[in-house]
Amino acid sequence: MKRLLISLAILLSLFGSQELYAQIPNLTLRDINGKSVNIQQLCNSGKPTIISFFATWCKPCLRELNAIADVYDDWQDATGVNIIAVSIDRAQDVEKVKPLVDGNNWDYLVLLDTNNELMRQMQVQAVPHLFVIDGKGKIIEQHNGYTDGEETNLYKTLLRIK
Amino acid sequence: MKKCIIVILLCFCALTSFADVSLNGGIQHDGLFGFNDQALNANYDFPYLSNTYLNLGMQSTYVAAGLRLELMPKPLQGYETSFAGAGVGNLFVQANYKWLRLTLGDVYAQYGSGFVLRLYEDRALGIDNSLRGAKLELTPFRGINIEAIGGKQRVYWNCYDNTSWNLDYTQGAVVGGNMELQIDQWSNTMQENNIGLLLGASYVSRYQPMDTIIASYSPLTMYNLPVWTAAADVRAKLRIQDFSLLVEYARKANDPSVENQISYNDGEALLLSGAWSRKGLSIVAQIKRSENMSFRSDRMARGNAAMINYLPAFTTTHTYALAALYPYATQTLGEWAWQGEVRYTAKKNTPFGGKYGTTLNLNFAHVRGLGKGWFGVSEQPYYTDVHLELHKRCSQNWWINAMYMYQTYNQTVVEGHGDLIRANIFVADVKYKVSDNVSMRAEAQYLFSRQAEGQWVFGLYELALWQKLTFTLSDMFNIGGENYWQAGATYQTAGHRLQVSYVRQRAGYNCTGGVCRYVPAQKGFSLNYTYNF
């Protein structure tokens, strides 16, 4: 156990000492209109991207995405950000995603991660989970959970990296 | 085993020196300092119980790898006994080149809705049913996806129970194949007219060594249990502009098991789902019939172990406390289920919509057992949920979510005891934004029922400060009974999230999509920490 902990400590200190970053996986998902989209290519557009994992039953997810929807137009004008909402809904709940998106009048690109493959590759365990990505596909920051008002800080980050 | 883990960690370490390699990972720790409580029947043999996970992932252009360490020598309560342990829960290496991707190690997959195969990880339920073997994915041409998978299933720590590390497939294996054709990718006419058609077919087979069961001694009756059991699934999804239709059928052949009382009958599942949706209005209607479709890699397994497939719960997943008090669990022996939803959003600057718009959502779910004949249903309902939800932004700083729900819950069928519970539930959820740095949220819920524990009241207050810190206070009170309360704080910044709370929580079911875990009553300080990088 001691040797294991020492190795973990070496590993984590090496992480801290190098400029490590997480990259967007090379994965193709379908959007709510059935069109296939490669998420890695989308995130290399030269503009900032936000990926937000959500589920139709997750109330904090809906609060977060509705809060951002209210200011999305302003964010796009100022930073050119592209927001991708990724649904982790499964089985028959997948059929409820487009109705929810239309009902909330979201203008996001909404992808369906029905097999939770993207979720696994991006190490997401619970929703809401949000990533801010720069124009070169590098993850700048990420949040697990939603605190009301967090979108204010998100906007500041977008202005910094645009 | 420990030396193995050290070597693997140091390899990951060494890989960071390569420029084109990126790393990600996460830590999750959930713990409880428990206090005994006689009234609650909460008892703790060990002062601190915890589940800890460490994930590491490596990616480069052609190669990826991942590792998950799990430490739960004294896990949180409510998991199955075999859940306790420590070691490498998941390890894989993946290579991809153009239209081919090969994964070796512990693999996950889902075919269609999961009727014949769903391999996934769900930490809240303690489920990780990956296969240790290989997965091959091919996308040779536009619109064609082919997948093949095979391996021995993980059942808790079974890879450490034998010297073969779960690679001896003569002791059990699952193999499967899946093909999906996106027909509209080959037709410009279909694409121009916003028409989509997806056809899919899957086949999964389970191997388990020959076994014989003695059903009775007088007269002597023995069953030879089949070594191979197969299941197949076909599906079609049609989309024509705002309308979509999904039809899916699955069948399983001769799978006598402890769960179905050694029945050799075929199992089947049928799902029909139609939706019409455009901005402002959407309608969804779904029907499902399933019979004898539980599919496990071990005929003798019960509970949440060794599941190969996934039977979707045809009910809304509720997160409001009283609406989730009586959650439904899919009855694997058979059920009929119906579900419908109408969602309407009144536009901004209309009388009903107000300045910011208003959304109304009416949802209906009903489940019954099987009756005589294929179309027959049981006399008693298993579950009903009708709820109307309103979401409105009242002003620049005020939001309201309100819900009324009528629920019937057949406690005898779902839990094995109790009544047919009928409940009326009222929820009000109000958010007030004081400033950019301060906002608060309050919930008030009331459940009225003449059965089970009768009436319940729930109140919650949440204060969010500086977009990082949240204080929460909640109380769930059974009128004439116990009080269950929680006080805590959550801090989140960058990839970190730390939650500390004092809980006094009743026993209940934690259900996610039809799979449930019984959680015993809890009292104590709970600590939850996650970090993602």
In eight-state DSSP terms, residue A57 is T
Segment 120-149 of chain A within 8 Å of chain B by CB: 120-126, 129, 139, 141-145, 147-149
Residues of B in contact with A147 (CB under 8 A): 464, 467-470, 490, 492
Structural contact between residues B405 and B371, judged by C-beta atoms closer than 8 angstroms: no
How far does Cα A86 stand from its chain's mean position?
7
pLDDT digits (tens, 9 = 90+) for A50-69: 999 999 988 889 989 988 99
The residue among B449, B372, B377, B458 whose CA lies nearest residue B418 is: B449
Q: How far apart are CA B389 and CA A56, in angstroms?
A: 14
Q: Which residue type, as a one-letter code, is found at position B83?
A: F
Q: A120 and B468 in contact by Cβ < 8 A?
A: no
CA B107 vs. chain centroid, Å, equals: 18
Give CA–CA dist B333/B267, Å, rounded: 9
Q: What is the ipTM of this complex?
A: 0.88
In a domain, residue A70? The reply is yes
Say if B325 falls within a structural domain. yes
Interface test with B, best of A12, A32, A96 (most B CBs within 10 A): A96
Does a structural domain hold residue A13? no
Contact A63, B393 (CB under 8 A): no
**CA B66 to CA A25: how far, in whole Å?**
13
Domain tally, chain A: 1
Asked if residue A5 belongs to a domain, the reply is no
Give the pLDDT confidence score for residue A27 in this predicted structure: 87
Q: Which residues of chain B have pLDDT under 50?
A: 513-514
Tell me if A37 is assigned to some domain. Answer: yes
Q: How far apart (Å, rounded) are the C-alpha atoms in residues B214 and B202? A: 34
A102, amino acid identity:
D
The pLDDT tens digits of the residues spanning A128-149 come to 899 999 888 888 889 888 888 8
The answer to whether residue B413 is domain-embedded is: yes
Closest-CA residue of A relative to B432 is: A148
Q: How far apart are CA B118 and CA B120, in angstroms?
A: 6
- Whether A158 has a pLDDT exceeding 50, the answer reads yes
Among residues B389, B183, B375, the alpha carbon closest in space to that of B287 is found at B375
Q: 3-class SS at B275?
A: strand
* φ, ψ of residue B298 in degrees (nearest 5): -135, 120
Contact call for residues B309 and B320 (beta carbons, < 8 A): no
What pLDDT sits at residue A17? 41
Task: Report chain B residues whose CB lies below 8 A from the CB of A73.
Answer: none
Compute the mean pLDDT over every residue in chain B, rounded to the nearest whole number: 89
Chain A positions touching B237 (Cβ under 8 A) are: 34
**Is residue B369 included in any domain, yes or no?**
yes
**Residue A71: which residues within 8 A CB-CB, separation 6 or more?**
A151, A155
Could you report the per-residue pLDDT of A21-34, keeping only the tens digit for each? 567 888 889 999 88
Nearest to A57 among B317, B361, B497 (CB): B317
To which H or E segment does residue B342 belong?
strand B334-346
Taking the C-alpha atoms of residue B422 and residue B414, their distance in angstroms, rounded to an integer, is 14
- Please report, for the domain that includes residue A70, its CATH number: 3.40.30.10
Report yes or no on A14 lying in a domain. no
| B59: nearest CB among A25, A59, A95 | A25
- Does the distance separating the beta carbons of B468 and A125 come in below 8 Å? no
Question: Could you tell me which residues are beta bridge partners of residue B81?
Answer: none
Residue B153: half-sphere exposure toward Cβ, Cα within 13 Å? 29
Do the chains contact at B441 and A129, CB–CB below 8 Å? no
Q: Searching chain B, which residue's CA lies closest to the CA of residue A96?
A: B284
Range of the domain at A145: 21-161
The answer to whether B478 and B456 are in contact (CB under 8 A) is: yes
* CB-closest option in A92, A145, A148 to B271: A92
User: What is the distance in angstroms between the CA of the first residue and the CA of the last residue of chain A?
Assistant: 46
Mode of pairing for the β-strands spanning A109-112 and A28-31: antiparallel
E strands in B108-210: 109-110, 118-119, 121-122, 127-128, 131-138, 144-153, 173-182, 195-207
Q: Please answer whether residues B71 and B110 qualify as being in contact, where contact means their C-beta atoms are separated by less than 8 angstroms.
A: no
Q: Which positions in chain A touch B57 (Cβ < 8 Å)?
A: 121, 123
Please tell me which of the candidates A11, A143, A149 has its beta carbon nearest to residue B13.
A11
Domain count, chain B: 1
Residue in B closest to A157 by C-alpha: B494
Q: Which residue has the tokens 């190690």?
A: B105
Q: Chain B: nearest CA to A120, how far in angstroms?
A: 9
Beta bridge partners of B527: B31, B500
CATH number at residue B378: 2.40.160
Confidence band, pLDDT 50/70/90 cuts, at residue A18: very low
CB atoms within 10 A of CB B62: 12
Q: Say yes or no for a CB contact (<8 Å) between A126 and B319.
A: no
Smallest CA–CA separation between A16 and chain B, in Å?
11
In a domain? residue A80: yes
DSSP state of B108: -
Burial B273-306 (b: 16+ CB within 10 A, else e): bbbbbeebebbbbbbbbbbbbbbbbbbebeebbb
The continuous run of DSSP H or E covering B393 comes out as strand B377-393
Distance from CA of B467 to the nearest CA of A (A): 5
A103 in reach of chain B (CB within 8 A): yes
Confirm if B238 and B244 have CB atoms less than 8 A apart.
Answer: yes
Cβ contacts of B343 on chain A, cutoff 8 Å = 99-100, 102-103
* Domain, as residue range, for B435: 317-481
Which of B51, B108, B149, B467 should we substitute to test contact with A (largest number of A Cβ atoms within 10 Å)?
B467
- Chain B residues whose CB is inside 8 A of the A41 CB are none
**How many interchain CB pairs under 8 A, A with B?**
201
Place of tokens 């696994």: A120
Please, are residues B438 and B464 in contact by the beta-carbon 8 Å criterion? yes
Query: Which amino acid would we find at residue B484?
Result: Y
In angstroms, how far is CA A95 from the centroid of its own chain?
A: 21
Distance, in Å, from the CA atom of B45 to the CA atom of B6, rounded to the nearest integer, reads 31
* pLDDT at residue A12 in the model: 53
Q: Has residue A1 been placed in a domain?
A: no
Q: Which of B102, B261, B80 is nearest to B155 (CA)?
A: B80
Alpha carbon of B512: minimum distance to chain A alpha carbons (Å): 11
Say yes or no for a CB contact (<8 Å) between B532 and A142: yes
Confidence check: pLDDT of A9 > 60: no
Q: CA dihedral defined by B117, B122, B124, B128, rounded to 10 degrees?
A: 80
Query: Does residue A11 form part of some domain?
Result: no
3-class DSSP assignment, residue B238: strand
What pLDDT is stored for residue B6 in this prediction? Answer: 59
> Which of the 8 DSSP states describes residue B354?
B
In a domain, B340, yes or no: yes
Measured torsion, CA atoms of residues B392, B398, B399, B405, in degrees rounded to the nearest 10: -90
Whether B289 maps to a domain, the answer reads no
Q: Are B461 and B485 in contact (CB under 8 A)?
A: no
CA distance B427 to A90: 26
For residue B326, being part of any structural domain is answered with yes
**pLDDT tens per residue across span A72-120:** 999 999 999 999 999 999 877 888 899 899 888 899 999 999 888 999 9
8 Å CB contact of B318 and A117:
no
Tokens of B325: 């008090």
CB contact under 8 A, B13 and A8: no
Contacts of B433 (CB under 8 A, 6+ apart): A148, A149, B396, B397, B398, B439
Query: Which two structure tokens, joined as six digits, stand for B53?
Result: 């996970």
Task: For CA atoms A91, A92, A94, A97, give the dihedral sign.
Answer: negative
Quick check: B533 and A22 CB within 8 A? yes
